[in-house]
Amino acid sequence: MRALRLAAFRAFYRLPFRWRRRLVRMGSVHYIVGAVTIVRDADAESPGRILLLRQPPGPGWSVPGGLLNRGERPIAGAARELAEETGIRLPIDRLRPATPNAVVHTGGRWVDMVFETEVPADAPLDPDEAEVHEAAWHPLDALPRLTGPTARLLAHYGIGPLKAEDD
C-alpha cells in the first residue's frame, strides 16, 4: 500500500501545475461564502426593530446580504450588498462583526459572514426592485414569516422564532 501511495504522489507531482491545481480543486470541499448585515433601528425603544427584506422567490423575509465577489473582503461585501439591496450606503467602519461572525449553514457548504449596524429608521430606503420586493422595519417581538436560513441565522443572535428559550 505504501508503494502505491508513493507512486501516486510521484505521478501527481510530475503533472503540470495547472493540472495538479485542477485535481486538488476537484477533490476539495467547496464553500459558498456570503456576507449579511443585521440592521437595527438606531432610534427604537426596547425590544427594538430590524430591517428585513422580502425577496424572490419565496414569501419569507430575510436580512440584507449576498454572495461575495472573488477576492472581496467580507465587510466590503456586506456594505456593498446593503447598498445594492436597500439603498443604505455606509462606510465599512460603520459595520462591526457580529458574535459569532461566521455562521455555517446547510451541511457545512454555505458560510455567512455576519455584520451588525444601526441606522435611523427614517433613513431613506431605495430597494433594488430586481432583487427586493419590499424593505421594511419590523419589531423584534413581532417578526413576519422569515425564510428558513434567516430564522436559523438570527437564532444565533437571540432573535426570531428559533431563538433559545432562555434568551
User: Given pLDDT bands bounded at 50, 70 and 90, which one contains residue 42?
Assistant: very high
Please report, rounded to a whole number, the percentage of residues in the chain having pLDDT higher than 90.
Answer: 63
Return d(Cα 76, Cα 91) in angstroms, integer.
Answer: 9
Q: What is the mean pLDDT of residues 98-116?
A: 89
Q: Which three cell numbers stand for residue 125?
A: 430606503
C-beta separation of 39 from 88 below 8 A: yes
**H-only helix segments in the chain:** 2-14, 17-27, 74-86, 148-155
Q: Which three cell numbers stand for residue 18?
A: 495547472
pLDDT score recorded for residue 167: 42
Residue 135 φ/ψ, nearest 5 degrees = -125, 130
Return d(Cα 125, Cα 100) in angstroms, integer.
Answer: 27
Asked which of 57-66, 81-90, 136-145 is least confident by mean pLDDT, the reply is: 57-66
Q: Which pTM was predicted?
A: 0.81
pLDDT score recorded for residue 157: 95
pLDDT score recorded for residue 8: 81
Q: What is the mean pLDDT of residues 42-71?
A: 92
pLDDT above 90 for 138: yes
